[in-house]
């Protein structure tokens, strides 16, 4: 394409085009790329020129065409943003900057680099929609010339196109562009499937060519007889669309009845519904195949009536009925809005008012920008871009559009994040239903909330299908975990200061924040709770003369002079803790408390045991019985030992983990008798491992849950009384 040809294409839809600007951009880009070549061997400048030509088909404004010509100059030539601003103005400079990849990112994984580029692109799109239009045209031309790339590069680009850019074009209502991107990517990623589907489509088109013409003529004649002028066109579906439907529905090609579709374009909205009536009274309608996207448009502004009838020759005929304006938006989406017309507002401001699709995109970008890492951002973006939808309603009639297979949990988060976080149940069409139900078109969903639920279950993250819900659940889970660690850290620090006979106050700790390199006292507490900061460091930051005095929690022998235990393999004597020091220990209520608490993996701990807490970085406290042999592993790290005590509420009894080893006689019914003893004494078996020790005896390792030490000892005593039990002992690891 020559310089004059490009300007002539723009002038056809915009007689007031700024020819001087386009000429300047053309010449500048051609000189900037100079002798650069593409992988095909063509001059590199042919690429931005073709991108600009694609955008002229979308009838875009002069600034967008100029930005298309310049879009690779900052990335691939010595050109700077300052030069673009100086020569072409900050508006075009901003567009070119938004299209420039983060080529200097020092990231390890390709996924992280891809996600960061996508994040930058989407943020730029949210700021100016024209960035998206240039980027999609850029990707389309690259896909058209993909055969010149190395094989590994072709696969990566095609997959990225199918995952990100084609769905993004679909979300923006750019149907024709999305279909071409999908087919080009399909051809690269699944060449054999593409070949087979294309051959079957060609063969069927040859067989039914006369039928397509007959249906077009009959539809046109029937509508004209009723006074409705319409343009009827038939077309076959694209290979990727057919293949995806076969995959989704697990059907063969022969079972597909809607290979061909017909589009009926009329003048007015009234004629749309009149045409539908004519079609339905002429040919029988296929039940369940009518959809009204005129009264309920899709989120990408798509509007049409869809129906399927049994037409001439008993052939199923799929119809789309729309006006010319609806057709333009269906084909070109946000690009159908006349961005090149004179307007006091910026294109972004104008489009924000006119386009639901763009409003959705900006809202989505705001949510996705909160992702904690690049890979998470990429995951949520892919979730948000898939566009198969169901439409549900709130009890007040508000429409909520959701992806297919969405649940009431997704619905709750679509209404508001707080509704999702506090959701405990739902009614679907007036009937109570589980929160994991799959929603259908037209469902009325009423979410039941409770303030008692402060955070959603983390398991919901694997159930929901929307990026917004998954991000909110992950964020709430992180906050809940951080709150737990902060609560643990606060208790550790307060009791440490109390043991040192000093006064703790938040104000005192605030004054020490610079010495601890933390922004807030919650950051300090969370770091202590996670084991990232030693409590003694906090004590020294608050009181420079602080000296740590530990009361070792070790088993009491038959003596009144002190407690004895092992330290570095030697018997040592410790002070008896005073009542004040005992009060300074951390109360343990169980795994459902506000502290991140676990119990010893090899035997657990139960109320009645003397216990010690071990702080595990990033995991919270692990509670061990004081007689546990596993405590020897922590002798060299005394800073991880915590003074803890049971603080049980008798009104709400809890079960705690314990482990017993039973040596039993190997005869029928032995295991049943053991299980019966445990059940009769209200114990709960979690796990059993059996090992044949000899022909006559079997060792059973049983993990169970009991209320306290007295409860556990009663079960062991009853087991020992059984004739089939040779021995029964508690295991403490």
The shares of helix, strand and coil residues in the chain, as percent rounded to the nearest 5, are 50, 20, 30
CA 422 to chain centre: 19
pLDDT at 347 over 70: no
d(CA 53, CA 57): 7
pLDDT at 272 over 90: yes
Residue 571 — very low, low, confident or very high, per pLDDT cuts 50/70/90? very low
More confident residue, 120 or 69: 69
Give Cβ neighbours of residue 256 (< 8 Å, ≥ 6 apart).
Answer: 242, 245, 246
User: Would the pLDDT of 516 be above 50?
Assistant: yes
How much is the pLDDT for 618?
67
92-101, 200-209, 285-294: which has the minimum mean pLDDT? 200-209
Residues β-bridged to residue 264: 232, 321
How sure is the predictor about 151, in pLDDT bands with cuts at 50, 70 and 90? confident
pLDDT digits (tens, 9 = 90+) for 496-505: 887 788 888 8
Catalytic residue among 8, 42, 75, 111: 75
> Residue 62: which of 51, 75, 54, 52 has the closest Cα?
52
| Residue 726, SS3 per DSSP | strand
pLDDT in tens, 162-213: 887 888 888 777 888 989 999 999 999 999 988 988 888 888 777 777 777 8
**375 is annotated as an active-site residue:** no
Contact 252, 243 (CB under 8 A): no
Strands 305-310, 684-692: pairing is unpaired
Average of per-residue pLDDT across 458-480? 85
- Return the exposure string of 83-114: e unless at least 16 CB atoms fall within 10 Å of the residue's CB, then b: ebbeebeeebbbbbbbbbbeeeeeeeeeebbb
**What is the average per-residue pLDDT within 78-103?**
85
Q: Is 433 helix (H, G, I), strand (E, B) or coil?
A: strand
The answer to whether residue 393 scores a pLDDT higher than 90 is no
Q: Between the ranges 217-221, 515-519, 559-563, where is the mean pLDDT highest?
A: 217-221
What's the pTM?
0.56
Residue positions counted in the chain: 733
Task: Name the least confident of 142-146, 465-469, 714-718.
Answer: 465-469
Cβ distance 223 to 229 under 8 Å?
Answer: yes
pLDDT at res. 106: 40
Across the chain, mean pLDDT equals 80
pLDDT tens by residue, 437-446: 999 877 889 9
Phi first, then psi, for residue 345 (nearest 5°) are -95, 160
Q: What is the mean pLDDT of residues 356-366?
A: 62
Please check the confidence at residue 61 and state whether its pLDDT lies above 80: yes
- How high is the pLDDT of residue 51? 94
636 is known as an active-site residue: no
**What is the pLDDT, as a whole number, of residue 387?**
46
Give CA–CA dist 184/161, Å, rounded. 9
Which of 43-52, 508-517, 620-629, 635-644 has the weakest average pLDDT?
635-644
Specify the pLDDT at position 381: 55
3-state secondary structure 683-709: CEEEEEEEEECCCCEEEEEEEEEECCH
Q: Is 103 helix (H, G, I), strand (E, B) or coil?
A: coil
DSSP, res 634: G
pLDDT at 378 over 70: no
Q: Name which residue leads in pLDDT, 391 or 550.
A: 391
Task: List the structure tokens of 542.
Answer: 């608050």
Q: Which residue has the higher pLDDT, 582 or 414?
A: 414
**How distant, in Å, are the alpha carbons of 141, 267, 398, 419, 651 from that of 390?**
33, 29, 14, 20, 47
> Across residues 65-87, what is the average pLDDT?
92
pLDDT band of 376, cuts 50, 70, 90: low
C-alpha span between 135 and 149 (Å, rounded): 19
Options 76, 325, 331, 354, the catalytic residue: 76
pLDDT band of 580, cuts 50, 70, 90 = very low
Predicted confidence (pLDDT) at residue 342 exceeds the cutoff of 50? no
Q: How confident is the model at residue 114 (pLDDT cuts 50, 70, 90)?
A: low
């Amino acid at each position: 394409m020559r310089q004059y040809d490009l300007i002539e294409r723009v002038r056809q839809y915009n007689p007031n085009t700024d020819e001087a600007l386009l000429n300047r951009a053309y010449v500048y880009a051609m000189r900037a790329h100079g002798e650069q070549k593409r992988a095909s061997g063509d001059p590199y400048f042919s690429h931005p020129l073709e991108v600009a030509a694609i955008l002229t088909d979308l009838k875009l404004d002069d600034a967008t065409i100029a930005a298309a010509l310049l879009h690779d100059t900052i990335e691939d030539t010595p050109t700077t943003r300052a030069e673009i601003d100086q020569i072409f103005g900050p508006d075009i400079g901003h567009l070119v900057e938004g299209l420039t990849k983060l080529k200097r990112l020092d990231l390890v994984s390709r996924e992280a680099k891809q996600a960061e580029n996508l994040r930058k692109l989407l943020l730029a799109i949210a700021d100016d929609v024209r960035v998206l239009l240039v980027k999609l045209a850029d990707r389309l031309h690259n896909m058209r010339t993909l055969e010149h790339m190395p094989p590994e590069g072709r696969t990566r680009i095609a997959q990225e196109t199918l995952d990100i850019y084609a769905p993004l074009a679909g979300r923006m209502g750019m149907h024709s562009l999305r279909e071409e991107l999908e087919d080009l990517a399909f051809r690269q990623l699944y060449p054999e499937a593409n070949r087979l589907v294309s051959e079957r489509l060609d063969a069927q088109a040859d067989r039914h060519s006369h039928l397509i013409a007959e249906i077009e003529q009959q539809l046109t004649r029937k509508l004209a007889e009723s006074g409705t002028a319409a343009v009827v066109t038939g077309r076959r579906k694209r290979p990727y669309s057919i293949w995806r439907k076969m995959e989704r529905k697990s059907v063969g090609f022969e079972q597909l009845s809607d290979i061909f579709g017909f589009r009926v374009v009329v003048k007015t909205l009234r004629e749309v519904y009149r045409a539908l009536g004519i079609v339905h009274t002429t040919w029988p309608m296929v039940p369940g195949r009518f959809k009204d996207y005129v009264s309920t448009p899709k989120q990408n502004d798509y509007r049409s009536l869809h129906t399927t009838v049994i037409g001439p020759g008993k052939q199923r005929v799929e119809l789309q009925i729309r006006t010319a304006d609806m057709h333009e938006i269906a084909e070109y989406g946000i690009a159908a809005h006349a961005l090149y017309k004179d307007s006091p507002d910026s294109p972004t401001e104008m489009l924000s008012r006119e386009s639901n699709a763009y409003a959705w995109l900006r809202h989505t970008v705001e949510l996705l920008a909160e992702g904690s890492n690049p890979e998470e951002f990429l995951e949520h973006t892919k979730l948000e871009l898939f566009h198969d939808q169901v439409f549900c309603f709130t009890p007040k009639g508000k429409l909520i559009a959701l992806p297919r297979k969405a649940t009431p949990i997704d619905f709750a988060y679509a209404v508001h994040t707080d509704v999702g976080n506090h959701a405990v149940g739902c009614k679907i069409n007036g009937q109570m239903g589980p929160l994991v139900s799959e929603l259908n078109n037209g469902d009325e969903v009423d979410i039941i909330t409770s303030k008692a639920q402060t955070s959603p279950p983390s398991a919901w993250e694997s159930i929901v299908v929307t990026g917004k819900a998954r991000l909110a659940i992950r964020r709430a889970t992180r906050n809940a975990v951080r709150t737990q660690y902060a609560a643990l850290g606060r208790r550790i620090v307060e009791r440490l200061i109390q043991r040192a006979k000093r006064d703790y106050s938040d104000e005192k700790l605030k004054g020490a924040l610079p010495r601890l390199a933390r922004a807030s006292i919650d950051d300090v507490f969370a770091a202590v709770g996670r084991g990232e900061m030693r409590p003694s460091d906090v004590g020294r930051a608050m009181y420079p003369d602080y000296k740590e005095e530990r009361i070792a929690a070790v088993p009491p022998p038959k003596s009144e002079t002190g407690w004895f235990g092992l330290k570095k393999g030697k018997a040592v004597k410790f002070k008896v803790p005073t009542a004040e020091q005992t009060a300074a220990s951390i109360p343990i209520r169980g795994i459902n408390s506000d502290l991140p608490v676990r119990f010893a993996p090899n035997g657990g701990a139960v109320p009645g045991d003397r216990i010690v807490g071990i702080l595990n970085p990033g995991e919270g406290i692990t509670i061990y019985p004081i007689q546990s042999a596993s405590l020897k592993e922590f002798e060299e790290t005394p800073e991880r030992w915590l003074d803890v005590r049971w603080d049980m509420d008798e009104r709400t009894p809890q079960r705690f983990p314990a482990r017993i080893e039973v040596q039993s006689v190997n005869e029928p019914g032995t295991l049943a008798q053991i299980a019966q003893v445990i059940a009769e004494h209200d114990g709960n078996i979690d796990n059993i491992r059996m090992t044949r020790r000899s022909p006559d005896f079997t060792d059973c390792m049983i993990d169970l849950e009991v209320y306290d030490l007295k409860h556990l000892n009663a079960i062991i005593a009853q087991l020992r009384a059984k004739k089939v039990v040779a021995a029964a002992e508690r295991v403490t690891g």
